[in-house]
Structure 1
Amino acid sequence: MSESSYSLLGLWPIINRWKKLVLAAVVLAAVLSTVVALLLPNIYRSTAVFFPTNPESTDPDRLVDGGKLELGGRSEDLDRIITIGQSQPAAELLINEFGLYKHYEAGAPGNDAAENAVLYQFNSNLSIVHNERDAIELTFEDKDKELAARLANRLVQVIDSINQQLTLENRRSVLGLYKLRFDFLQSEFEQSRKQLVQARRRYGIYGLEQQGRYMAREIITLESKVHQAEGSGNTAQAAGARRALEALTDPSGPNTINLERYVQGTDSMGLFVARLTDLQERLVKARGDYETADLTLRGKISSLYLVQKAYPATRKSKPVRWLIVVGAVVVTLAASIVLITLLELYERNRRASRYRPEPTTGAGL
């Protein structure tokens, strides 16, 4: 006995026999889907668009030295920004700041169920993607369009702040090194200056070049007086000039400034002056470096280049109510057709098996 064949054209008589039930199911689905679609709240979407920058190009120290901002972000910069935006600390900061426990009706904070619910809802409403123009689009959805825009803009600020914090601690350590270097040089400079003052008092040298000229001029003058006095036979004048010359050249003489002390102090004074000059130059540079590092650390340069702020949406993004109704009707119609077709096949097979003749057996003669 040949198997029964079925075709799509054979569905129409089946649908026609069950048309009232099919029509009732479709009408019921349309009514229920319409009610559900009308009860769904409008969801608004706000999007902020920005470019990440290379952290090295936003280093204030480099900008002070004439560096330039690089607006194009590298792939690692894009990945880092997206990771920061999707991180739990950033989410918890915004959840607490905007009171999203109450807004999402997740319950009171402090228990795992409420925290998991609000985090899930927050992450479901958030989207951070890298578009084809190497920019980052941060989108936030919410039934409150003003809140969606404020959340998106605030999250951009949080991402910028956290991105700067990644290098802030290292820069503070560098600032500490600048301060340590400046304090050390300042201490050495003060110590060297005191040593120079003590050396000047000890040797009686307060101006190397001026005192050298004075010493040479006086020695030449006294020697000339000695020779003149001896040549003219003025013994008393020659003896006085000789005593004055010995006081100027003898280290045990009564003069505060004499040639021997000047010669002894010249090398020490030269070393002290050179040391003090070197420390002064290094101290001035270290002070400038420290002040520059301190000022640049206090100044905040954005690590993001904001192209478009998030604005409150002028129209809803979802739900598409007509699509919900049409989809419910189509699904219900298809399910109804499948169900009645299966019922018809079941009834047909049951009737066929009922009227099928029993096989007979007999003994051969």
Structure 2
Amino acid sequence: MESGGDFKRPFLSGVILQVVYHYRQHLAILGILSIVLSIVFSSPGFITPLYKSTVILYPTASNSISKVLLSDNFNNSKDILEFGEDEQTEQMLQVLNSNKIRDRVISKFSLMEHYGIKENASFRLTELYDEYESNFKFRRTEFMAVKITVMDKDAQMAADMANDVAELIDSTINNMQKQIAVKAFLIVEREYLKLEEEIKTKEDSMTVLRQYGVHDYESQAEMFNMQLAMEMAKGNRESIKRLETKLDMLAKYGGPYVSLRDALEHDKKQLSELKAKYEEAKVDATQSLPHKFVINTAYKAERKSYPIRWLIVVTATFSVLLLAIIIFGLFEIFSGALGNNIKKKSTIETVA
């Protein structure tokens, strides 16, 4: 039992050391070769160096100018100077990943030519979009900010593109909002002008009724009836006839006057409310505010960010040596050389 334990112990704990010691020269040669080759193949001649530029920004808390500046709702919690929260951050990330920004960046910086994609290639757009997505990254930071990262072989171009993407956020969001805001404004404007015209027509009708002597139906009717009663008591027929004529005129046009007056009062109240909406819609359709607070702008990187040569060299060398040890170890096990060495060692220890 002890010999069996002695046989298992070096197999479990010492096989790697035995393989390393036995093939130390081979491993040294492989290590040196892997270092040299990884240095060579990670050089600019094989892997294009990429420079990284980043922009960090926060979204604003509100997207509507009128709601923040013109609204009478003082309980509105949105502040024009307040940083946005999760919802606004997610919305901004969706905008950054939209094809509206992607296509404008591709067009402005001629990225198809810059990435070396041929115009007549069968899958030129697929290659272009894949290259764009690999070089442009947008993510949320742990502080709820938005980080824009751009990688490119041209350090200055990487910084310019990162800054340009940040600038495109405002115009892209404004363009999308204006499409709706302008239509909403035209609807409100049409209703506002229509109601204004209706009020003008009713006011003209009231002017005509006043020409017939109808100025205030209730007070006039009360006054004429009192005077009629007094004149009838006096027996003044001429005054009675004159008052009856006025009462007949008042009876004829009093009803339309009251209807127009009440409708006009209602329309003017509605016009006042509609005017507030009209002014808000006009501001939203014609004015714009920034949708971001830029914390850090991008600058030209002085050192490349990719590839990280030391990491490639270490990873490649370690992988080669590990694979070589495994292969040599399997070779020793299946060839029986390792077992013979272990048995010899066990015999020597027993004799001793």
Q: Same fold (TM over 0.5)?
A: yes
Q: Work out which of the two has the higher radius of gyration on C-alpha atoms and give 1 or 2.
A: 1
| CA–CA distance in structure 2, aligned partners of residues 242 and 268 of structure 1 | 30
1:235 corresponds to: none
Q: After TM superposition, list the pairs within 5 Å mapping 1:195-344 onto structure 2.
A: 195-201=205-211, 203-205=212-214, 243=238, 245=239, 248-251=242-245, 258=246, 260-262=248-250, 264-336=252-324
Counterpart pick for 2:24 among 15, 25, 32? 15
8 Å Cα contact 1:52/1:305 also seen in 2 = yes
Structure 2 CA distance for partners of 1:210 and 1:342, relative to 1, 3 Å: closer
The answer to whether 1:107 aligns with 2:118 is yes
| CA–CA distance in structure 1, aligned partners of residues 51 and 150 of structure 2 | 8
The letter for the 2-side match of 1:182 is: Y
Summarize deviations over 1:51-99 as a string: whole Å, max 9, x none. 2345xx3322311115432745444443333233234443233222221
8 Å Cα contact 2:101/2:168 also seen in 1 = yes
8 Å Cα contact 1:139/1:152 also seen in 2 = yes
Identity %: 21
Summarize deviations over 1:244-274 as a string: whole Å, max 9, x none. x3663353xxxxxx45424644454344334
Summarize deviations over 1:142-182 as a string: whole Å, max 9, x none. 12222222222332344444445665555445324322321
8 Å Cα contact 1:219/1:248 also seen in 2 = no
Unaligned runs of 5+ in 1: 228-240, 252-257, 353-365
| CA–CA distance in structure 2, aligned partners of residues 7 and 174 of structure 1 | 76
Structure 2 CA distance for partners of 1:218 and 1:142, relative to 1, 3 Å: same
8 Å Cα contact 1:29/1:329 also seen in 2 = yes
8 Å Cα contact 1:60/1:297 also seen in 2 = no
1:355 corresponds to: none
The answer to whether 1:80 aligns with 2:74 is no
| CA–CA distance in structure 2, aligned partners of residues 214 and 76 of structure 1 | 66
Counterpart pick for 1:31 among 36, 40, 46? 36
| CA–CA distance in structure 2, aligned partners of residues 209 and 344 of structure 1 | 119
Unaligned runs of 5+ in 2: 341-352
8 Å Cα contact 1:14/1:344 also seen in 2 = no
Summarize deviations over 1:259-305 as a string: whole Å, max 9, x none. 54246444543443343343334334423421331122221233333
Q: After TM superposition, list the pairs within 5 Å mapping 1:99-138 onto structure 2.
A: 99-108=110-119, 111-138=121-148
Report the RMSD for the aligned CA atoms in angstroms.
Answer: 4.2
| CA–CA distance in structure 2, aligned partners of residues 75 and 287 of structure 1 | 34
The answer to whether 1:94 aligns with 2:105 is yes
Q: After TM superposition, list the pairs within 5 Å mapping 1:37-186 onto structure 2.
A: 37-39=42-44, 40-54=47-61, 57-63=62-68, 64-65=70-71, 67=76, 68-69=78-79, 71-108=82-119, 111-163=121-173, 168-186=178-196
The letter for the 2-side match of 1:90 is: I
SS at match of 1:58: coil
Q: TM-score, normalised by structure 1?
A: 0.69
| CA–CA distance in structure 2, aligned partners of residues 264 and 49 of structure 1 | 75
1:362 corresponds to: none
| CA–CA distance in structure 2, aligned partners of residues 221 and 146 of structure 1 | 99
The letter for the 2-side match of 1:276 is: L
| CA–CA distance in structure 1, aligned partners of residues 204 and 152 of structure 2 | 71
8 Å Cα contact 1:60/1:296 also seen in 2 = yes
8 Å Cα contact 2:51/2:155 also seen in 1 = yes
8 Å Cα contact 1:199/1:269 also seen in 2 = yes
SS at match of 1:186: helix
8 Å Cα contact 1:58/1:69 also seen in 2 = no
8 Å Cα contact 1:45/1:140 also seen in 2 = yes
SS at match of 2:144: coil
Q: CA deviation at 1:319?
A: 2.4
Q: CA deviation at 1:187?
A: 2.9
8 Å Cα contact 1:15/1:337 also seen in 2 = no
The letter for the 2-side match of 1:12 is: Y
8 Å Cα contact 2:228/2:240 also seen in 1 = no
| CA–CA distance in structure 2, aligned partners of residues 331 and 10 of structure 1 | 16
| CA–CA distance in structure 2, aligned partners of residues 145 and 157 of structure 1 | 19
Q: How many pairs does the alignment contain?
A: 321
Structure 2 CA distance for partners of 1:337 and 1:250, relative to 1, 3 Å: closer
| CA–CA distance in structure 2, aligned partners of residues 264 and 80 of structure 1 | 64
Structure 2 CA distance for partners of 1:195 and 1:15, relative to 1, 3 Å: same
| CA–CA distance in structure 1, aligned partners of residues 285 and 117 of structure 2 | 40
| CA–CA distance in structure 2, aligned partners of residues 15 and 306 of structure 1 | 57
| CA–CA distance in structure 2, aligned partners of residues 157 and 52 of structure 1 | 12
SS at match of 2:43: helix
